[in-house]
Chains A and B, each alone.
Chain A
Amino acid sequence: MPPRGLTGSRIRDRRLLAGVKQSALARTVGISAAYLNLIEHNRRRIGGKLLGDIAEALHVEPAILADGAEAELVTRINEAAASQPGTAAETDRAEEFAGRFPGWAGLLRRQARRIGDLERTVASLSDRMAHDPHLAASLHDLLSTVTAINATASILVDTDEIEAEWRDRFHRNIHEDSQRLADSSRALVAYLDSSPEADSGTGSPQEELEAWLKARDFHVPELERALPASEASILGSDAFVSASSRDLAQRFLARYRADAKAMPLADFSEDAARVQYDPGVLAADYGVDLAAVLRRIAMLPTQAGAGHIGLVVCDGSGTLTFRKQVDGFPLPRFGAACPLWPLYQALSRPLQPIRALVELAERDVMRFLVYAIALPAGVPGFDAPPVYEATMLMLPVDRVAVPDLPVQRIGTSCRICPQAECRTRREPSILAGGV
Chain B
Amino acid sequence: MRKRVLLIEDEPNIIQAISFILSRDGWTVDTHADGQSAMAEVARRTPDVVILDVMLPNRSGFDILQDLRADPATEKLPVLMLTARGQKRDRELAERYGASRFMTKPFSNAEVLETMRQLTGT
Contact = CB atoms under 8 A, between A and B. Distances in A.
B58 interface: no
Contact of A140 (B55, B107, B108): B55
A317 interface: no
Nearest to B10: A144
A158 interface: yes
Nearest to B16: A173
Interface string A146-169: 111011101100110000001001
Given A151-B18, A166-B20, A158 B106 contact: no
Interface of B: 11, 13-14, 16-18, 20-21, 24, 55, 84-85, 105-110
Q: Is the interface of A mostly helix, strand, loop or mixed?
A: helix
Contact of A143 (B13, B20, B105, B109): B105
Nearest to B109: A154
A353 B24 CA distance: 66
A150 B24 contact: no
A147 B108 CA distance: 8
A103 B21 CA distance: 74
Nearest to B82: A147
B21 A147 contact: no
26 contacts: A140-B84, A140-B85, A143-B84, A143-B106, A144-B11, A144-B105, A147-B11, A147-B84, A147-B105, A148-B11, A148-B13, A148-B14, A148-B17, A150-B106, A150-B107, A151-B14, A151-B21, A151-B106, A151-B107, A152-B13, A154-B110, A155-B21, A158-B109, A170-B17, A173-B13, A173-B16
A179 to B, nearest CB: 12
Chain A: interface size category? 20 to 34
A68 B107 CA distance: 67
Nearest to B106: A147
B52 to A, nearest CB: 15
B85 A152 contact: no
A304 to B, nearest CB: 46
Contacts of B18: 151
A170 B21 CA distance: 12
Nearest to B13: A148
B106 A155 contact: no
B16 A147 contact: no
A222 interface: no
Across the A-B interface, the 8 shortest Cβ-Cβ residue pairs? A151-B17, A143-B84, A148-B13, A147-B105, A147-B106, A173-B13, A150-B106, A140-B84
Contacts of A158: 109
Nearest to A158: B109
Contacts of A150: 106-108
